[in-house]
Amino acid sequence: MHDILAITFPIYAAILIGYAIVARGWFSAADMRTLGKYVLNIALPALLFKAVASRDLAEIFHPGYLTVFLLGGLAAIAVAFCWFTFAASDPARRAVATLGSSCPNSGFIGYPVMLLVFPDLAGIVLALNFLVENVVLIPICLILMDMSKDGDHGSILKRIANILWGVAKRPMVIGLALGIVVSVSGISLPSPAMRLFEMLAASAAALSLIVIGGSLFGLPAKGNRALATQIAVGKLVVHPALVALVVVALPLLGMTLSPELAVAAILSAAMPMFGIYAVLAQERGLEGLASLAMLIATSAAFVTLSLLLLWLT
């Protein structure tokens, strides 16, 4: 347990620092949004580029991991959608609950955790998670949210195209794509350039946790606590359990996965929901529900991640 706390304590200590500096007024909520933009648009793209560009593509592309994370995520979406069809009172709540139950925070929390557990694999795991989440899982959930609107929404293909185009324009996607191009082409970047990317990437882990903590301050603690708790349980318990089932069944598909990557996949699914969850839920007027679910999940993850690490390691 001492070894497990050596991993989880620094993560949550940094989150607590972020919460405290906003609570004391040293930084504002607007400052946290600005720092979050830096992490999303500069630090994490640099990290993804460095992690991919500095390795041969064969080292990065792990079909077994992608299969596990993809099928586990799709199963989480399906289970959450079915459950919240009965537990939620309307399609909008069902869509928001499904989004929160199946899309982990791989960048702001997952990467710092992986950096402590599997430092040599952390960048690769982030790239693989990011690929699955942004190309498949998040677009599916956004389509569900879009379909929960009242009225005519036009062609489903057009909505899908708009969502995918929005994903393609993100700096993290561009960083990942450029890294793949460099890796495939065999281009060797000058060492000063790589040191620049290493310096920017090094700022991602700690700052992302500070941003998460600062963003939690001021979140409403009122709302549908029963539904918010169910969303948190879906994210912290059901999603990783489904990924673990896929890991067990993977040999039936004729694939293999190293023990380290199997643990990384399950841990990645056990992260709280991603940071912009409440922002996306705001489009349906459900930011209070999403904020409460995120607050519960992020707080409870200290216990669930510690127990999961104890079991897996």
pLDDT digits (tens, 9 = 90+) for 187-242: 788 888 889 988 998 888 888 889 888 888 877 666 678 899 999 999 999 999 99
Pull the structure tokens for residue 99.
Answer: 């989004």
**Residue 309, C-beta contacts closer than 8 angstroms, at least 6 positions apart:** 4, 7, 8, 117, 267
Q: Which amino acid is at 16?
A: L
**pLDDT at residue 70 greater than cutoff 90:** yes
**Residue 75, C-beta contacts closer than 8 angstroms, at least 6 positions apart:** 242, 245, 246
SS3 state of residue 296: helix
Q: For residue 263, what pLDDT band results from cuts at 50, 70 and 90?
A: very high
Counts for the chain of helices (H) and strands (E), in that order: 18, 0
Among 18-22, 70-74, 195-199, 211-215, where is mean pLDDT lowest?
211-215
Average pLDDT estimate for 249-268 = 93
| Per-residue pLDDT, 154 | 58
Q: For residue 84, what pLDDT band results from cuts at 50, 70 and 90?
A: very high
Q: What global pTM score does this model have?
A: 0.85
Q: Which amino acid is at 163?
A: I
Q: pLDDT exceeding 90 applies to what percent of the chain?
A: 36
Instruction: List C-alpha distances in Å: 169 to 41, 134, 174, 250.
Output: 11, 11, 7, 33
pLDDT higher for 205 or 306?
Answer: 306
Residues making up the chain, counted from first to last: 313
Which residue matches tokens 């989440």?
A: 133
| Per-residue pLDDT, 155 | 66
Pull the structure tokens for residue 285.
Answer: 């007027």
Average pLDDT estimate for 82-96 = 87
Q: What does the alpha-carbon distance between residue 247 and residue 211 come to, in Å, rounded to a whole number?
A: 32
Q: What does the alpha-carbon distance between residue 301 and residue 307 come to, in Å, rounded to a whole number?
A: 9
Average pLDDT estimate for 97-109 = 90
Mean pLDDT of the chain: 87
